[in-house]
């Protein structure tokens, strides 16, 4: 949805932001606007951006993404919001002042209540802080409410904090901050077929857009979900040095019998890191390690994991 909303009632309760990751802090804001909309009889509306604003304003500073646009849509579709607007973030939009952007929200989406996170900055240079927005609200007749940070393990949840956890391979904390496992949604593609020769058939996932943040290469315990099923498994992420293949790949051995998933879109959830990518002298040595990984991944998926040998 990108266009105008009909002016057919008491207006909208709106929040604005990139919402990368759609983490626990974001969910608190979304719950707040949904509740305020229910109480007032207004629409609840999220206005989010694609691409990430820094990709336009300052590309070298743009962070890797926790959720690509299709993944954000997937998570947001489970919210109780009346509408989600993916607003194209352009250089022209980046030049709008906070007041100009607020007037755009009023004109297009009939803003009556604005709900923002504690660290929100709106408009050119993020100069529209809480105080400025409240001044605009008094002048233009809309209310401004601030949702405080959500703390987990004594730390304020943020996309930056989660990126740091994922980049460090700390999938447990990433999942706690997100409220769900860190994941990738991607199609199943053809692989080299080496896994079946050593007793570990795999499905291969298409590598995502370069903007997507991946954990460090290694072997992981994972869960995979598809349209009509789910299975635990273990994944090799990275090059395959034992076979002299330097190309990065995502190869998943699923523990349960599964249908042919080739060409299907699946969701891969990282659960726990088991070990680094290693070079083995023979295929038999690799298979012996995969047997160890198999046991470690099963343990991780049942909550009693210790990582396999590094």
Report the SS3 class of residue 258.
coil
Query: Any idea which residue has 């974001």 for tokens?
Result: 26
pLDDT single digits (tens) 278-292: 988 888 898 999 999
pLDDT of 306 reads 43
pTM above 0.85, yes or no: yes
Question: What class, spelled out in words, does domain 182-301 have in CATH?
Answer: mainly beta
How does strand 43-50 pair with strand 111-117?
unpaired
| Strand order through the sheet with 12-16 | 83-88, 43-50, 12-16, 111-117, 143-147
Tokens of 117: 């996170």
Confidence of residue 309 (pLDDT cuts 50, 70, 90): very low
Distance CA 184, CA 225 (A): 10
The yes-or-no verdict on residue 240 having pLDDT over 90 is: no
pLDDT for 241: 66
Q: Which of 301, 192, 217, 309 is nearest to 254 (CA)?
A: 301
Mean pLDDT score, 146-164? 96
Average confidence score pLDDT of the chain = 91
pLDDT tens per residue across span 44-91: 999 999 999 999 999 999 999 999 999 999 999 999 999 999 999 999
Q: What is the mean pLDDT of the segment spanning 160-168? A: 98
Beta bridge partners of 45: 14, 83
Name the phi and psi angles at 264, rounded to 5. -85, 155
Quick one: tokens of 307? 């990582």
Name the CATH architecture for the domain at 12-156: 3-Layer(aba) Sandwich (3.40)
CB neighbour list of residue 128: distance below 8 Å, 6 or more residues apart: 97, 98, 99, 101, 102, 120, 121, 122, 136
**Dihedral sign, Cα of residue 293, residue 298, residue 299, residue 300:** positive
Domain ranges of the chain: 12-156, 182-301
């Amino acid at each position: 949805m990108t266009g105008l909303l009909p002016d057919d009632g008491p207006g909208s309760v709106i929040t604005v932001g990139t919402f990368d990751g759609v983490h626990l802090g974001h969910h608190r804001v979304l719950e707040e606007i949904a509740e305020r909309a229910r109480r007032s009889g207004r629409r609840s509306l999220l206005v989010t951006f694609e691409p990430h604003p820094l990709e336009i304003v300052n590309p070298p500073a743009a962070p890797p993404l926790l959720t690509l646009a299709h993944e954000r849509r997937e998570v947001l579709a489970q919210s109780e919001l009346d509408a989600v607007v993916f607003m194209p973030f352009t250089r022209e939009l980046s030049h709008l002042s906070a007041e100009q952007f607020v007037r755009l929200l009023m004109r297009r989406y009939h803003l009556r209540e604005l709900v923002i996170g504690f660290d929100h900055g709106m408009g050119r240079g993020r100069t529209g802080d809480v105080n400025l927005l409240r001044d605009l609200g008094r002048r233009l007749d809309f209310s401004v409410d601030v949702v405080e940070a959500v703390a987990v393990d004594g730390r304020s949840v943020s996309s930056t904090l989660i990126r740091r956890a994922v980049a460090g391979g700390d999938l447990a904390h990433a999942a706690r901050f997100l409220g769900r496992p860190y994941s990738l949604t991607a199609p199943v593609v053809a692989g080299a077929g080496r896994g079946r020769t050593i007793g570990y058939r795999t499905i291969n996932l298409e590598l995502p857009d370069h903007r997507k943040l991946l954990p460090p290469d290694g072997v992981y315990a994972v869960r995979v979900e598809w349209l009509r099923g789910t299975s635990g498994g273990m994944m090799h992420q990275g090059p395959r040095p034992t076979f002299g293949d330097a190309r990065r790949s995502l190869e998943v051995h699923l523990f349960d019998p599964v249908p042919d998933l080739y060409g299907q879109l699946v969701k891969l959830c990282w659960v726990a890191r088991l070990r680094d990518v290693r070079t083995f002298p023979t295929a038999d040595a690799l298979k012996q390690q995969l047997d160890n990984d198999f046991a470690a991944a099963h343990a991780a998926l049942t909550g009693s994991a210790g990582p396999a040998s590094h």
